[in-house]
Chains A and B, each alone.
Chain A
Amino acid sequence: SQQGEEDPQALSIQEGENATMNCSYKTSINNLQWYRQNSGRGLVHLILIRSNEREKHSGRLRVTLDTSKKSSSLLITASRAADTASYFCVNSGYSTLTFGKGTMLLVSP
C-alpha cells in the first residue's frame, strides 16, 4: 500500500517540550513529505526529504529517513500551542499522494 502509517495516532505534550512522530511504509520510499493540517491554516506542506537524504532540518523541524527500514520521523523541538494540528507523512514517489490517518498533536500552554 502507498499509505503510510503514522505513530502515535495522538500525542499530547506541554509547550516547550519536543514532539516526535513516526511514519512507516510497506512499499519502498522515494521522496517523503510531511504535511500539517489545522483548522486555521488548512493543509500545509512542511518538508520534503528525498530518498538519498538521511536527515533534513527546517526551523524547529527535523526529519529523518531510513529507506532500508521504510520509515521516517518528524521531530518538532520547543513546541508551541500553534503546533497543535494533525501531521501526515506522504510517500511522493508515486504519481498520486496517499494520506494516512496522521498523528494528532495537542500542545498545551
Chain B
Amino acid sequence: SAVISQKPSRDICQRGTSLTIQCQVDSQVTMMFWYRQQPGQSLTLIATANQGSEATYESGFVIDKFPISRPNLTFSTLTVSNMSPEDSSIYLCSGGEQGNEQFFGPGTRLTVL
C-alpha cells in the first residue's frame, strides 16, 4: 500500500492569485492523478501526472490553468492559476499502479474569495 500526503490541507485565496498543491507518496508509484471534487459532487479527473513529461489533461482542463509537475515517482504538484471563486473545490491526488487500487491523499480544500 501507499500513503499519500498533501500540502496544504486547506487554503483561502484571493481571486487572481495562484496556489500550488503538493502531493507526496511514501513509495514509488507508476501512476499519479489529480482530481477535483466540487461541493456535493463526485470526483472529476483533471489530469494524469506523467513522470518526466507533460501531464495528460482531461477534456475541459488545460495546462495554462492547471500546470502539473512530476519530477519523480513519489512527488507531484498541481497549480491552480489565476483563481476565481469557481475554482473553490477540494483537490485530491492519487497514486498507484494501472489497473490496481489507487491510494488517495486527504485532499486540499480551496476557497477562493
Interface residues of A (CB under 8 A from B): 30-31, 33, 42-45, 48, 88, 92-93, 95-102
Residues of B within 8 A of A101 (CB): 41-42
Residues of A within 8 A of B92 (CB): 42-43
Residues of B within 8 A of A48 (CB): 100-101
A30 near B99 with CB under 8 A, answer yes
B33, B98, B99 pick with most chain A CB within 10 angstroms: B99
A96 near B45 with CB under 8 A, answer yes
Residues of chain B at interface, number, CB under 8 A:
22
Measured CB to CB, the nearest residue on chain B to A30 is B99
Given contacts A43-B92, A43-B104, A44-B104, contact A92 B42 (CB under 8 A): no
* Complex Cα gap A48–B101 (Å): 7
* Complex Cα gap A96–B46 (Å): 11
- Name B38-76 residues within 8 Å CB distance of A: 41-45, 48, 58
Measured CB to CB, the nearest residue on chain A to B48 is A96
- B103: which of A30, A45, A92 is its contact (CB, 8 Å)? A45
Q: How far is the CB of B64 from chain A (nearest CB, A)?
A: 21
B31, B102, B106, B107 pick with most chain A CB within 10 angstroms: B102
B103 near A31 with CB under 8 A, answer no
- B101: which of A30, A33, A88 is its contact (CB, 8 Å)? A33
Q: How far is the CB of A44 from chain B (nearest CB, A)?
A: 7
Residues of A within 8 A of B107 (CB): 42-43
* Complex Cα gap A96–B96 (Å): 11
B42 near A95 with CB under 8 A, answer no
